[in-house]
Each structure stands twice: as structure tokens, then as C-alpha cells.
């Protein structure tokens, strides 16, 4: 069975980054305008079939919002690689159950140039079409690996020289922690945050100080704050790799 990627941005990024994995592209018959022309041009460039179908067929296949575009990918497609990725900046995600939150975090990771994203298998949403769509194509550029045991993975990375920081409301502000060098950032789920064992094996905990009435941020918003503070620090000390050309 092929893997489905749906939504304009995810389909466009799949066409730009790994067209050799695409079997065909489905476009809604009623779609017009620049987006359709752009997708059709990319398909022509790579010799890919474009099939015009009814919107009802797209809705049946995607079981969600598709924006008129679906790509069918070979199930054996290899892991993508990101341009300009920072191999010394790794993210671990556990127990994030909302596909939209997971997709948003992946989009942030790609924007920050994260070298690898580790996703705890049990308790975390699968990388489903809904996650891919929310990530707006970011999954086509990220190196994503599902892991079985967060604590064991952390201990292994520590042996490779990584410093490990987990997010927790009571932690230190990210600008008071050295986020340069080999860094693993851990983000926990919507309900309880990081697991107790994961929190215990972290070298330090990072929190976002809240000045308003709301006591905490959504996990994707917290991830953005922490990751781009890491990007700022790494840019200042000259360890940030140059941005790649994703075009």
C-alpha cells in the first residue's frame, strides 16, 4: 500500500525533495490557480503522473482536509535528510498525543535546523497524514526516528558527549543555560509533560517564565521558544551551520 501525503505544502515539498519516491499525484478537478499550476509544473519536470479526481475521492482517501492535493509515495521510501541541518542539535519528543501538536513541533524543528528528531514510540502520535499536513512539508526534510525507551536513548547520547535538557515549568530560563555544543532537548506530552524517568536523567530542566495569568505554554510554543534560543546562542558563538538552500 502506498503512503499518502496530503495538503498543498506537504505535496509540494515531497515533489521538491524526493520525487523519485512518488508514484502519482492526485489533484481535485475543481482546483484552479497558481497552486495547481505549480504542482503540475513540478510533476512535469519529474515525469510524474497527475490524475484529476473528484473532491469526494480526495476526502475519502485523506479522511481530513486535503486542500485539493494528494501524493502517493512508495511505502519503502527512505528517511529524508535536511539541508543545513545541525547534527549536534537533537530533539526528543515523548507522549505528544495530538497530531496537530506533533506536526507543529516537527515544523519548528525543521525551521531551527534540528539534525535529528527522536520520537518515543509508545504514547506518542504516529507520523500520520494529519501530522504531515500540520508540519506543512517539514517531515520531508527532517531525519525522524522512533525510539522505544527515552531514558536508554538519553543515556546513549550522553556517552556520545551530548548534554541533555528537558522542559519543565519549574526549570531555568533557556537563556540562562548554555545551549551550544552537543545538545539534546526533550519535550513532553500535553497532559503530564516529560515522564519521571526521562526528567530524572536530564542534566538540567528548562522552563519558560510566564508573566501573564496563563501559567504555561502549549508544547509546540514552548518548543519554539527553547529551540530558537538555542539557535540564537549557536549563531552567536559561531557553531551554527549555514542555512541550506531548500529550493
Asked whether this chain's domains 3-73 and 86-236 adopt the same fold, the reply is no
Separation between Cα atoms, residue 151 and residue 6, nearest integer Å: 34
* Residue 93, helix vs strand vs coil: strand
Report DSSP state, residue 214.
-
β-pair partners for 184: 90, 164
> In a structure prediction context, what are the per-residue pLDDT tens digits for the chain, which is 247 residues long?
567 888 888 888 888 777 778 889 999 988 888 999 999 998 988 888 899 999 888 888 876 667 889 998 886 555 455 456 898 999 999 999 999 999 999 999 999 999 999 999 888 988 877 888 889 878 878 888 888 899 999 999 999 999 999 999 889 999 999 999 999 999 999 888 999 999 999 999 999 888 777 666 789 999 999 999 999 999 998 767 766 544 4
- Domain ranges in the chain? 3-73, 86-236
| CA 184 to mean position of chain CA atoms | 15
pTM over 0.85: no
Whether domain 86-236 has CATH 2.40.30.70: the reply is: no
Q: Output the pLDDT for position 4.
A: 83
**Sheet strand arrangement including 86-93:** 144-147, 114-120, 86-93, 183-187, 163-172, 204-206
Is 229:195 a contact under the CB 8 Å cutoff?
A: no
Separation between Cα atoms, residue 199 and residue 205, nearest integer Å: 8
* Residue 28, helix vs strand vs coil: strand
Q: Output the pLDDT for position 246.
A: 43
Q: Output the pLDDT for position 238.
A: 74
Q: Output the pLDDT for position 197.
A: 95
Is 46:18 a contact under the CB 8 Å cutoff?
A: no
Domain 3-73 architecture = 2-Layer Sandwich (3.30)
* Residue 129, helix vs strand vs coil: helix
Q: How many residues does the chain have?
A: 247
Separation between Cα atoms, residue 146 and residue 235, nearest integer Å: 29
Indicate the burial class of 59 (C-beta count within 10 angstroms; 0-12, 13-18, 19 or more).
middle
Amino acid at each position: 500500500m502506498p503512503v499518502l501525503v496530503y495538503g498543498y505544502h506537504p505535496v509540494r515539498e515531497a515533489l521538491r525533495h524526493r520525487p523519485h519516491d512518488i508514484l502519482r499525484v492526485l489533484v481535485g478537478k475543481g482546483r484552479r490557480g497558481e497552486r495547481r499550476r505549480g504542482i503540475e509544473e513540478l510533476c512535469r519536470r519529474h515525469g510524474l503522473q497527475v490524475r484529476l479526481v473528484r473532491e469526494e475521492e480526495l476526502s475519502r482517501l485523506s479522511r481530513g482536509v486535503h486542500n485539493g492535493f494528494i501524493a502517493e509515495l512508495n511505502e519503502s521510501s527512505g528517511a529524508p535528510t535536511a539541508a543545513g541541518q545541525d547534527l549536534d542539535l537533537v530533539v526528543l519528543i515523548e507522549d505528544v498525543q495530538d497530531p496537530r501538536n506533533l506536526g507543529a513541533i516537527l515544523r519548528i524543528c525543521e525551521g531551527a535546523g534540528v539534525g535529528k528528531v527522536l520520537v518515543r514510540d509508545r504514547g506518542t502520535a504516529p507520523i500520520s497524514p494529519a501530522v504531515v499536513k500540520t508540519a506543512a512539508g517539514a517531515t520531508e526534510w527532517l531525519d525522524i526516528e522512533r525510539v522505544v525507551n527515552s531514558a536508554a536513548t538519553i543515556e546513549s547520547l550522553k556517552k556520545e558527549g551530548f548534554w541533555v535538557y528537558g522542559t519543565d515549568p519549574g526549570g531555568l530560563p533557556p537563556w540562562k543555560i548554555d545551549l551550544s555544543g552537543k545538545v539534546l532537548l526533550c519535550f513532553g506530552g500535553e497532559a503530564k509533560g516529560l515522564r519521571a524517568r526521562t526528567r530524572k536523567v536530564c542534566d538540567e530542566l528548562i522552563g519558560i517564565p510566564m508573566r501573564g495569568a496563563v501559567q504555561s505554554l502549549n508544547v509546540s510554543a514552548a518548543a519554539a521558544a527553547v529551540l530558537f534560543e538555542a539557535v540564537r546562542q549557536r549563531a552567536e558563538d559561531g557553531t551554527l551551520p549555514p542555512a541550506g538552500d531548500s529550493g
